[in-house]
Amino acid sequence: MAAPLPEKIQTAVVTGGATGFGALAVRALHKAGFRVVITDVDPGPAEALAQELDLAGETAVIGTLDVTKPDDFQTILDRSVERWGSVEVLVNNAARTAVQPVLEIDPADFNAIMAVNAGGTFTGCQIFGRHFRDRGYGRIINMASLAGQNGGTATGAHYAASKGAILTLTKIFARDLAPFGVTCNAIAPGPMDTPMVRSVITPEKMAGALANIPVGKLGDPDFVAGLVALLAGPEAAFVTGACWDVNGGIYMR
């Protein structure tokens, strides 16, 4: 009897995957058995990670993708399809975080943050969503934020508004892609223990910040990365259009 064919390795593209939480999501996906395409506006810092995960460059590769450029999304998709036949997962993680009082935000800065965070997520969902629809399978995971639900505390109105837009886009893509075997979910973390958060919540501000978190500590980004991998799996077929809150009890609904 012929040996069963090995199951096809699924491919996951992560935006903003070179540093911070994105790199942890890449690790979690790779550990869960996905081939990872680690993209970023400058993927250079991810080269060491890709080599650590797979020196042969087969299950972990890097690629340049500025999420404000639709052509970059299309190029990464086309190259991945050319090399491996298909892509199964997109993680829209890239974002710009900004801290500024609302009355001081320059409208041009507002638009720039919206373009990266909300615009980038829209473009990714649309371009990869078409591929997923045509294949009849796909998983989209959008990194939103508690700020998109409660208006934010440590971050600016542009960041918070962009994350609120991501939550709405998640529902729309989920609804329209559901008949095609494609799910689209959002994760809304509160402050996770990442370099970005530690740059915003300086040591002097930390005690005050923790006092406002019911569980009294920052979130574990590895747990959230595990959630990305969970939602990326084929078994996560019955969850779509959802927002997964991971906020230490700051916002309950």
Among candidate residues 73, 159, 160, 219, the one labeled active-site is 159
Q: Does 96 bind ligand NAD (CB under 6 A)?
A: yes
Which 98-117 positions form the footprint of ligand NAD (CB under 6 A)? 116
| Burial label, 90 (beta-carbon count in 10 A; 0-12, 13-18, 19+) | buried
Q: Does 68 bind ligand NAD (CB under 6 A)?
A: yes
Q: Does 196 bind ligand NAD (CB under 6 A)?
A: yes
Size of the site for ligand NAD (CB under 6 A): 28
Question: Measured between alpha carbons, how far is 66 from 40 in angstroms, rounded to an integer?
Answer: 6
Q: Does 66 bind ligand NAD (CB under 6 A)?
A: yes
**Contacts with ligand NAD, 210-229, as mask; x by CB under 6 A:** --------------------
Q: Is 159 a catalytic residue?
A: yes
Question: Measured between alpha carbons, how far is 225 from 229 in angstroms, rounded to an integer?
Answer: 7
Judged by beta carbon, residue 178 or residue 215, the one nearer ligand NAD is 215
- 3-class secondary structure, 34: coil
14, two tokens: 């992560």
Out of 90, 161, 192, 227, which residue is the one contacting ligand NAD (CB under 6 A)? 192
Q: Which are the contacts of 213, defined by CB distance < 8 A and separation ≥ 6?
A: 190, 191, 248, 249, 250
Exposure letters 186-196 (e unless 16+ CB within 10 A, then b) = bbbbbbbebee
Which 16-55 positions form the footprint of ligand NAD (CB under 6 A)? 16, 18-22, 40-41
Angle, vertex CA 92, rays to CA 87 and CA 162, nearest 5: 155
Catalytic positions = 159
Residues within the interface to ligand NAD (CB under 6 A):
15-16, 18-22, 40-41, 65-68, 93-97, 116, 143, 145, 189, 191-192, 194-197
